[in-house]
Amino acid sequence: MDTSDVQKLFVSAGLRRLTKDLDALVKPSIRLVVTPADEATLQPEVSKFGGLPDLPADVSWPTWQGLPQSFIAQIRLQDVHPYDAAGVLPAQGILWFFYDAQQETYGDDPTNRGGWSVIYRKDAQGLKHAAVPAKLPKSSLFKAGSVQFTRELTLSQVPNLEIAKYDWSDDEQQKYDDLLANLLPQEKRAFRHRLLGNPDLIQDDLREQSQLISHGVTDDNDSRQKQLEAGVKAWQLLFQVDTDERLGMRWSSAGMLYYTITAEDLRAQHFENTWLILQAD
């Protein structure tokens, strides 16, 4: 599906007038199709979910509050590059994603910083298959999955936040919500793992929380809030990890993990500056 297909969907849904707003609503993403796999069959340094990471010799398995973090995924960026329509990810290297082994980090408090890790190496040669850390709980070691990539356009669930001059009627908003609900076929609604694009929100928009909490603001009366709100739209989705029971990944009550990053840090390849949010019903 491309932008012209989305435009046709709007017209058929009775939303021809709103096609003027498509540029603000549509973002390309990279969908990750994960298939459970025997890790022994996966080649070294390949893109994968779960199992054990292949780490540089000088990189230690990250820890949080005395426990090794759970390994979520390693993404070989050479694999991703042909699908990066926006061209914002590095063309080479590897990204590794980790998360709190206790799965109790929600990203709703400044003290959560350190409850996840994102590691990037442009030169990712001679990696070593990591051993299972002795203190990692068995339930925090996820099953391995192979990864394939595909392009997928995404539509924002919060058009009022995307459009500078939002002028939709209640009827138009309802028709748009109905379009979103039926946008993906049933077989694509499970395991919505993705890089970039609009997130599949379960609760509120991610950007304000990422901006304020990452700067230590949790109180509406904090004098810094108004100034920080100017930077809310600088944040975007980097990596979304859906609950995936096939791999043993379950985020609270069938929730989602979202790693967010500012456009500036993405351009500068400062992946260590991500913020993580867990949302669930």
CA distance 166 to 41: 51
Rounded to an integer, the average pLDDT of 91-112 is 97
Say yes or no to pLDDT of 100 above 90: yes
CA distance 174 to 203: 18
Rounded to an integer, the average pLDDT of 99-106 is 96
CATH number where 126 lies: 2.30.320.10
Say yes or no to pLDDT of 35 above 90: yes
- Domain of 56 in residue numbering reads as 3-279
CA distance 55 to 147: 18
pLDDT at 203 (0 to 100): 96
Q: What does the block give as tokens for 236?
A: 């975007």
pLDDT at 124 (0 to 100): 76
- The tens digit of pLDDT for each residue in 222-246 reads 999 989 999 999 999 999 999 999 9
What is the overall mean pLDDT for the chain? 95
CA distance 41 to 39: 5
- Long-range contact set of residues 135-139: C-beta below 8 Å, sequence gap at least 24: 135/66, 135/67, 135/68, 136/67, 136/68, 136/70, 136/101, 137/67, 137/101, 139/248
pLDDT at 186 (0 to 100): 78
Whether 71 contacts 257, CB under 8 Å: no
Say yes or no to pLDDT of 266 above 90: yes
The total domain count for the chain is 1
Whether 55 contacts 43, CB under 8 Å: no
State the pLDDT confidence band at 272, using cuts at 50, 70 and 90.
very high
pLDDT at 176 (0 to 100): 97
pLDDT at 2 (0 to 100): 87
pLDDT at 90 (0 to 100): 97
| Percent of the residues in the chain that have a pLDDT greater than 90, as a whole number | 89
At 236 the three-state DSSP class reads: strand
State the pLDDT confidence band at 221, using cuts at 50, 70 and 90.
confident
- The tens digit of pLDDT for each residue in 177-190 reads 999 998 887 777 88
CA distance 120 to 11: 42
pLDDT at 279 (0 to 100): 98
Q: What does the block give as tokens for 135?
A: 């203190």
- The tens digit of pLDDT for each residue in 115-171 reads 999 999 998 777 989 999 999 999 999 999 999 999 999 999 999 999 999 999 999
Say yes or no to pLDDT of 62 above 80: yes
pLDDT at 187 (0 to 100): 77
CA distance 185 to 190: 10
Say yes or no to pLDDT of 264 above 80: yes
